[in-house]
Amino acid sequence: MINHRRSLVCFVIVSTFIILVLCDETPEEIKRQRAFLIRKHLKRLKKQEGGIKLVGGRGEFEGNVEILHEGTWGAICDDEWDITEANIICKQLGYSETNVQPTVNSYFGPARRKYWMDNIYCDGTEKEISSCRFDGWGQHDCTSSEAAGVICEKPENVLKKRLTPHKKVMRRLPQNLKIRLRDGRVKTEGRVEIKTENDKWEVICGDGWSLLEAIVVCKHLNLGYASDAMQTTYFGGNLTNNSLAGIKCVGNEYSLSQCMYAKFHTGRCDSKDVAAVSCTNALADLVIDHHELMRSAHLEDLQMFFLQCAMEENCAASTAYDIQRTNPAWHLEPRRLLRFTAKIFNAGTDDFRPSIPKHLWEWHMCHRHYHSMEVFATFDIYDNKGKRVAEGHKASFCLEDNQCLPGTKPKFACANYGDQGISVNCSDIYKYTVDCQWVDISDLSPGLYTMKVAVNPEFKVPEMTFENNAAYCDFYYSQYYGTVTNCSVQRP
Ligand SMILES: *[C@@H]1O[C@H](CO)[C@@H](O)[C@H](O)[C@H]1NC(C)=O
Ligand SMILES: *[C@@H]1O[C@H](CO)[C@@H](O)[C@H](O)[C@H]1NC(C)=O
Ligand SMILES: *[C@@H]1O[C@H](CO)[C@@H](O)[C@H](O)[C@H]1NC(C)=O
Ligand SMILES: *[C@@H]1O[C@H](CO)[C@@H](O)[C@H](O)[C@H]1NC(C)=O
Ligand SMILES: [Ca+2]
Ligand SMILES: [Ca+2]
Ligand SMILES: [Ca+2]
């Protein structure tokens, strides 16, 4: 490549980092050389604070994301991981921002290192993932099966300008698929096996396996509801050559036949772990009360002076933090809040218990209670193009029985480090007067929007179904008032 006719005219551009030698070769070659040098430069950058790399994929262009902080590589958790964050990763690595796919649930194998980042929220303008807002280095509530990853556009495709998207071909599983559980301690758990056309039982790769798939397996086998989805070798089942991988269910299918699988993983898995489930008959089922939501929604203007506690808990939009940094009189600046009551009912057959054990609960000084779940609810506002316009705010609550149906005694209470949870037939109510029980809409212009309120949005705690965990409503905002109407209950 290099020894091609060297020419007379060479431009040497020296910037701080990049030395580009552009000769009058064919544009193709120049482009290729430039890309080569840029990638070399980026490789050097990768070894610096905030540098990133992709691991576990078929090439450098895909994999779980790892980031360098204080000289140590760490993983990134998939909570709130979507296309915005994936685009930043690919951009930071020098790939194009077209045909980017975010991956979740350790799609490229379990996280190999401790998590450095969780709950990342980028606005899309950042140059590096470490410039986005997140919970703080090393702060997370994730298991090793929650590694976040990306698939960037292959560099060959970019250089050849042949923008062939590497389509992730999702295939439908065969009808009348037979499945079974194997080697569990009880009949309701074990590794999942699928019967193939050749009459062989084969395991499923663990990569990407989550509660949504487990729910369908338990339903398919008539074993009730999924209480756990595992990526493990605990139940045996070393990978055979033809194991399926990348099975994706929505969670409302009644048979695994209705789910899809990713073709390109067939025959090889990135990790040794296989998919396993644990099923149960009794489980919690949170339902959001959308009538209460519509009834209680209203606007309120508050000066930032009153929001200091809330801002500490990330309850304001990012512009509020900019104002706080740059304006000496920031505490007089008003914010406009859409306040509403969130009433969450447990319609299941078992208590809803937090995902974090008690000794790891976090004490929140401002609000003077323990948070037992990092993200219990999210409040979002989208414009008519489906773009999130009011910050995807996450709320951590103290879970308790505030109101129960007649005949049910409240059991969980937050006071005095009490046990947290929501009993069957009880509701946990966050009144609109509660701090942080709002969306900061100061940056919104008047118009019609979609509001989404979701509980247990990351599916961290198993439930009978997630189909009733979110309310999608119309939010009409006229500068003087705001109304929430026409709610429908859906999955988050
Ligand atoms: C399965 O895995 C275990 C431990 O990883 C190993 O000891 C065993 O030899 C493997 N069996 C087969 C058939 O590959
Ligand atoms: C797995 O693939 C290897 C190489 O392709 C082959 O030798 C072996 O027989 C295959 N094993 C099974 C169980 O199909
Ligand atoms: C919850 O309420 C329903 C309907 O009122 C009732 O059938 C069910 O037995 C109650 N469950 C418990 C555990 O109290
Ligand atoms: C209510 O929302 C649905 C979609 O969820 C929409 O089709 C319908 O037009 C809305 N109705 C009104 C009155 O806005
Ligand atoms: Ca997650
Ligand atoms: Ca998290
Ligand atoms: Ca539910």
Q: Which CATH class name applies to 47-163?
A: alpha beta
Amino acid 453: pLDDT: 95
Amino acid 166: pLDDT: 47
Closest Cα to atom 11 of ligand 4: 486
Amino acid 14: pLDDT: 38
Fill in the DSSP letter of residue 173. Answer: P
Q: How many angstroms does the Cα of residue 83 sit away from the middle of ligand 5?
A: 15
Residue 238 CA, closest ligand 1 atom number: 1
Closest Cα to atom 1 of ligand 3: 425
Name the residue with tokens 């772990």. 273
Amino acid 207: pLDDT: 82
Given ligand 1 and candidates 238, 241, 271, which is best to mutate, with the most ligand atoms within 8 Å of its CB? 238
Tell me which of 3.30.70.660, 3.40.190.10, 3.10.250.10, 3.90.550.10 is the CATH number of domain 168-280: 3.10.250.10
Strands (DSSP E) found in 160-249: 170-172, 179-183, 189-195, 201-203, 225-232
Distance CA 50, CA 69 (A): 6
Q: How many angstroms does the Cα of residue 436 sit away from the middle of ligand 7?
A: 23
Cβ atoms 442, 381 nearer than 8 A: no
Query: pTM of the predicted model, to two decimals?
Result: 0.79
Same fold, 47-163 and 168-280: yes
Cβ atoms 190, 181 nearer than 8 A: yes
Residue 408 CA, closest ligand 3 atom number: 14
- Within 6 A (CB) of ligand 1 lie 233, 238
| Exposed / middle / buried, residue 324 (Cβ in 10 Å: 0-12, 13-18, 19+) | middle
Closest Cα to atom 6 of ligand 3: 425
- Which residue ranges make up each domain of the chain? 47-163, 168-280, 286-490
Task: State whether the beta carbon of 488 lies less than 6 angstroms from ligand 4.
Answer: yes
Given ligand 4 and candidates 451, 474, 483, 484, which is best to mutate, with the most ligand atoms within 8 Å of its CB? 474
Longest CA–CA span in the chain (Å) reads: 91
- Within 6 A (CB) of ligand 2 lie 240-241
Amino acid 180: pLDDT: 95
* pLDDT averaged per 10 residues, the chain (length 492): 41 40 61 73 71 90 94 93 93 88 90 93 89 89 92 66 50 86 94 86 87 96 96 79 78 92 59 89 96 96 88 80 88 93 96 81 69 82 90 74 95 85 95 89 94 92 95 93 95 92
Distance CA 410, CA 423 (A): 7
Question: Which CATH superfamily is 286-490 part of?
Answer: Intracellular proteinase inhibitor BsuPI (2.60.40.2360)
Give the residue among 108, 132, 97 at the shortest CA–CA distance from 118: 132
**Burial per residue of 115-148, b for 16 or more beta-carbon CB atoms within 10 angstroms, e otherwise:** bbbbbbbbeeebebbbebebbeeeebbbbbbbbb
